[in-house]
């Protein structure tokens, strides 16, 4: 699917899961998307759980949801840091309010727990955050990918092929242009 002209934010923070940042980045670029790594600080290098660097292209405080057709939230321990950044949460909240695809994998739904995005939705994530997701209003399902409205969730790195297929399908359907 050709997604040329589609701009996607991938959130980065320290201790991210390598596969959950780089697989989406490269797969989306392969589909023609412009991928922007958004972190708390532009130009800062955020190390993964194993130390692999991800340099933020832009700071969350300097972007708006209007600039992107979707937001991808990786897992690892980075969601716990992302949740501490009001500009990062504002980007996610605003994208959700605009009905844009929000895709979160593994511990990524933790960020959604700090918004209203999970309220009344079916979703999945890493099993250890199930209670947090349920307390945020989600019906938790144990599935490789769950799509409910504009929210796409997956459990773990093994689910990345299904996760990315769902993101690309949603972007290709024009859902992101709303």
53-108: pLDDT as tens digits: 999 999 999 999 999 999 999 999 999 999 999 999 999 999 999 999 999 999 99
5-54: pLDDT as tens digits: 999 999 999 999 999 999 999 999 999 999 999 999 999 999 999 999 99
* Residues of the domain holding 94: 7-177
* Angle made by CA atoms 152, 99, 76, in degrees to the nearest 5: 35
Instruction: Name every residue whose Cβ is closer than 8 Å to that of residue 45 and which is 6 or more positions away in sequence.
Output: 53, 54, 55, 56
CA distance 63 to 42: 11
CA distance 4 to 87: 27
pLDDT > 90? residue 177: no
The pTM score is: 0.96
Does residue 1 sit within a domain?
Answer: no
| Catalytic position from the list 100, 107, 121, 155 | 107
pLDDT > 60? residue 178: no
How many structural domains are present in the chain? 1
User: Is residue 175 annotated as part of the catalytic site, yes or no?
Assistant: no
Band of pLDDT at residue 155, cut at 50, 70 and 90: very high
User: Between 175 and 154, where is the model more confident?
Assistant: 154
Does residue 2 sit within a domain?
Answer: no
- Which CATH number is 72's domain given? 3.40.50.880
> What local confidence, expressed as pLDDT, does residue 175 receive?
61
Does residue 80 sit within a domain?
Answer: yes
Average pLDDT, rounded, for the chain: 96
């Amino acid at each position: 699917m050709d997604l040329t002209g589609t701009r996607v934010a991938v959130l980065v923070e320290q201790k991210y899961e390598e596969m959950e940042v780089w697989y989406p980045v490269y797969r989306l670029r392969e589909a023609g998307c412009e991928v922007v790594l958004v972190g708390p600080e532009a130009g800062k290098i955020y190390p993964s759980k194993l130390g692999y660097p991800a340099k933020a292209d832009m700071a969350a405080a300097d972007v708006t949801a209007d600039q992107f057709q979707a937001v991808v939230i990786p897992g690892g321990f980075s969601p716990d840091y992302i949740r501490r950044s009001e500009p990062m949460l504002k980007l996610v909240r605003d994208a959700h309010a605009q009905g844009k695809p929000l895709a979160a994998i593994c511990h990524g739904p933790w960020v959604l727990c700090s918004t209203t995005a999970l309220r009344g939705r079916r979703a999945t994530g890493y099993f250890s955050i199930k209670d947090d997701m349920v307390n945020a209003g989600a019906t938790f399902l144990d599935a490789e990918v769950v799509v409910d409205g504009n929210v796409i969730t997956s459990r773990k790195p093994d689910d990345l092929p299904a996760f990315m297929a769902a993101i690309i399908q949603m972007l290709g359907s024009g859902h992101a242009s709303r």
